[in-house]
Amino acid sequence: MPRIIFHIKAQTKGNIRGLYFDDYKNYLLTANYDDGVLALIDMQKPGKERYSNIIANFEGKKKVRCCVWSTYRTELYTGTEDGVITFWDAKDVNPLCNLIYY
């Protein structure tokens, strides 16, 4: 039976719709469907997960359907239910641009 090692509150209550793990930097990206909050979490090295911490919270659009992280560009990308794709700069926690997908 799995056991809980630690808790980290990345977002308010709501559904996590997007989840992405970068195994190069050990970053976990979560996207909340209900309020659009994105959390970037440094999961630390294997065995040190209890020292995990939130690097950044992004206030995105509601109804996020998917999220992807680019290690080399230090950017994240989100897609929402209404067809908007947002490019985010993780260094300054700002959206770079929005594309509308039809």
Which stretches of the chain are assigned E, i.e. beta strand?
Answer: 16-22, 27-32, 37-42, 53-59, 64-70, 75-80, 84-89, 94-100
What Cα–Cα distance (Å) separates residue 46 from each residue in 30, 49, 72?
A: 19, 6, 21
pLDDT per residue as tens digits for the range 27-43: 998 888 888 888 889 99
Q: What is the pLDDT of residue 87?
A: 92
Q: What is the pLDDT of residue 93?
A: 83
Q: pTM for the full model?
A: 0.79
How confident is residue 11, by pLDDT bands cut at 50, 70 and 90?
Answer: low
User: How many Cα neighbours within 13 Å face the side chain of 77?
Assistant: 9
Enumerate the domain spans of the chain. 16-100
For domain 16-100, give the fold: Thrombin, subunit H (2.40.10)
